[in-house]
Structure 1
Amino acid sequence: MSLTTRIFHFLARMPLPLMQRLGAVLGWLVWWLSPSYRRNFKANVQAAGVAWRDARPAVAAIGAMVAELPWVWMRPHSAKLDGLVTWDGAEHFEAAMQAGKGAIIMSPHLGSWEIGAQAIAEKFGPTYGPMVALFRPARKAWLEPLVANARTRPYLDSAPTSLAGVRTLIRTLRNGGYTAILPDQVPPLGQGVWAPFFGRDVYTMTLLAKLAQQTGAQVIMTWCERLPAGQGFCMHMRPFDAPEVKDSSVSPEVAAAAVNRGVERMVLDAPGQYLWGYARDKQPRAEG
């Protein structure tokens, strides 16, 4: 076992509220030590037209998200989230599943998306089967065994980020299953289009809209709110009924713009928990 893995195992045993508080301090430490991070963060907030007082809590929230990872990734499969996660709007997901056309969880870099994926699989898996999501192998070799524990939990299945993986998602949705997509993740070159996001053109994935258009699956706007330390999380779920995401005759650019508007709505509901430091307007990388 590597030193890093040992450290993760040690941190995973710490109380989650303690790690969140330490993470908040870490968030502000990085903020003050990295001028480039600070500039990028502020530029994204300004471009979105969000008041600084509303976005400022995200500095600590981002640190808390990082500090949660050992607990989230190393959590024993037998340990349940019962009592830690409350639900707001779960009936929308259940209605979509009962309609038989499947559901696409649209969950951006907002709140604790890692906890969110595990919570959804744990709550709905026994009734509706596993959530199938695309997962790219960790870029750092030392991260792989740590991430693997989180990606292979009960009722949480992974598919490769390849054409075969996309076909798996299509089959899953057509069979009435469900998946989760990070809609504000910059896709590789050739897998997206340029579309407006908070007033700037950003490279936006086309996958989410294509899945919805090809399968008829209901898109569910979802984000996992991190409550004050010690109070757990709240999962928010709302149907996303933008007609552009259901109409295969519209251009990819129009559909992507609609997806971005959906992400904007969620971010504006909780600007203090968005990953503002993420370079959403960066150039896409070449696949390979």
Structure 2
Amino acid sequence: MLMLFRLLSKFPLRLLHAIGAVAGWLVYAASPSYRERYRANVQIAGLPWAAARGGIAEAGRMIAEIPWLWMRPASVPLGNKLQWRGIELIEQALAQGRGLVLLTPHLGCFEICAQAYAERFASAQAPITVLFRPAKQAWLRRVVDDSRGRPGVATAPASLAGVRQMIRALRQGQSIGLLPDQVPPHGLGVWAPFFGRPAYTMTLAARLLQQTGATPLLIWGERLPKGEGYVVHVLQAPPMPADLPAESAASLINQAMEQMIRLAPHQYLWGYNRYKHPRGLDVGAAPAASSKQEA
């Protein structure tokens, strides 16, 4: 498997994206449960099918581009494969020296964001620490460790030690990256609306902001057609008051994620099981959608 991964990493990005698009549709056609979840999530978001159906191919492209992204030599810059929009927001945040929290949903190529940041900022200003969960397969763990251990990119495990590592990074004026629409383990989240339906939402992002006074920004990597590369978009994030309750803070971040997704619904990972119950949680613990809306 590792040999195949290495072989694919040498393919042109355009070819990988073409292969991925076909694979994305094949998976969609072959899996009734995936189709049902995909369509249900689009319906919950209140979006027309035409706006979101492109995400089927994009999900395949996301998988197919991983060898190219993870095994690209650190010495080889992204060059003309990378464009920035809103980069001045990062420059302004780093100049304040209060630490920077970059938040992105499962939108576009979220893997490119840390690499792009490290290439542009880490050597001169501040490295970035990204939260990760170790892969189960040994060979894949090695690939992930090599990829995310690039110069200027540090990794923090999804554990108490990892949280402490991120707090230290922020207090040193550095940056961290999080995917706040990822379902956290039981006990590490709260129920908050996501496109109007209660979703178990991590509290970590808000806690880090509230405890350190770091600057929040929104970021996502737009995947360009025909393997032309990526555009990394940086947007303002809502302020996070230190005294905001956990449920309200999670709702605020979910609203920001929704706004980003609506910018490019054809690149969101609609097949992600966002509304699942974390392991060990009583399925009756989720508030009813109707009662949530009435509250």
State percent identity of aligned pairs.
49
Secondary structure, aligned partner of 2:20? helix
- RMSD of equivalent CA atoms: 1.2
2:184 pairs with 1:190:
no
Partner residue of 1:279 out of 270, 273, 286: 273
Contact residue 107 and residue 222 of structure 1 kept, 8 A? yes
Deviation at 1:286, TM superposition (A): 4.6
Partner residue of 2:164 out of 164, 167, 172: 167
2:14 pairs with 1:5:
no
User: C-alpha separation between the residues in 1 aligned to 2:119 and 2:104?
Assistant: 17
Deviation at 1:285, TM superposition (A): 2.1
Contact residue 224 and residue 236 of structure 1 kept, 8 A? yes
Map of 2:99 onto structure 1: 102
Contact residue 126 and residue 173 of structure 2 kept, 8 A? no
Map of 1:209 onto structure 2: 206
Partner residue of 1:65 out of 62, 65, 68: 62
Equivalent residues in 2 for 1:113-128 (5 A)?
Answer: 113-128=110-125
Contact residue 167 and residue 208 of structure 2 kept, 8 A? yes
User: C-alpha separation between the residues in 2 aligned to 1:33 and 1:165?
Assistant: 38
Equivalent residues in 2 for 1:109-148 (5 A)?
Answer: 109-148=106-145
Give a deviation string over 1:130-161, Cα, whole Å, max 9, x none. 11122221122331122122111110011222
Partner residue of 1:227 out of 201, 207, 224: 224
User: C-alpha separation between the residues in 2 aligned to 1:220 and 1:250?
Assistant: 18
User: C-alpha separation between the residues in 2 aligned to 1:51 and 1:108?
Assistant: 20
Give a deviation string over 1:86-122, Cα, whole Å, max 9, x none. 0000101110110111110001100001122211111
Contact residue 115 and residue 224 of structure 1 kept, 8 A? yes
2:61 maps to amino acid? A
2:76 maps to amino acid? A
Contact residue 180 and residue 202 of structure 2 kept, 8 A? yes
2:90 pairs with 1:93:
yes
1:234 maps to amino acid? V
Deviation at 1:277, TM superposition (A): 0.1
Map of 2:241 onto structure 1: 247
Map of 1:80 onto structure 2: 77
User: C-alpha separation between the residues in 2 aligned to 1:140 and 1:5?
Assistant: 11
Partner residue of 2:253 out of 256, 259, 266: 259
2:81 maps to amino acid? L
Using the size of structure 2 for normalisation, the TM-score is: 0.93
User: C-alpha separation between the residues in 1 aligned to 2:241 and 2:280?
Assistant: 29
Aligned residues between the structures: 281
Unaligned runs of 5+ in 2: 282-295
User: C-alpha separation between the residues in 1 aligned to 2:228 and 2:242?
Assistant: 43
Secondary structure, aligned partner of 2:107? coil
2:37 maps to amino acid? N
Deviates more, 1:198-207 or 1:77-86: 77-86
Contact residue 218 and residue 239 of structure 1 kept, 8 A? no
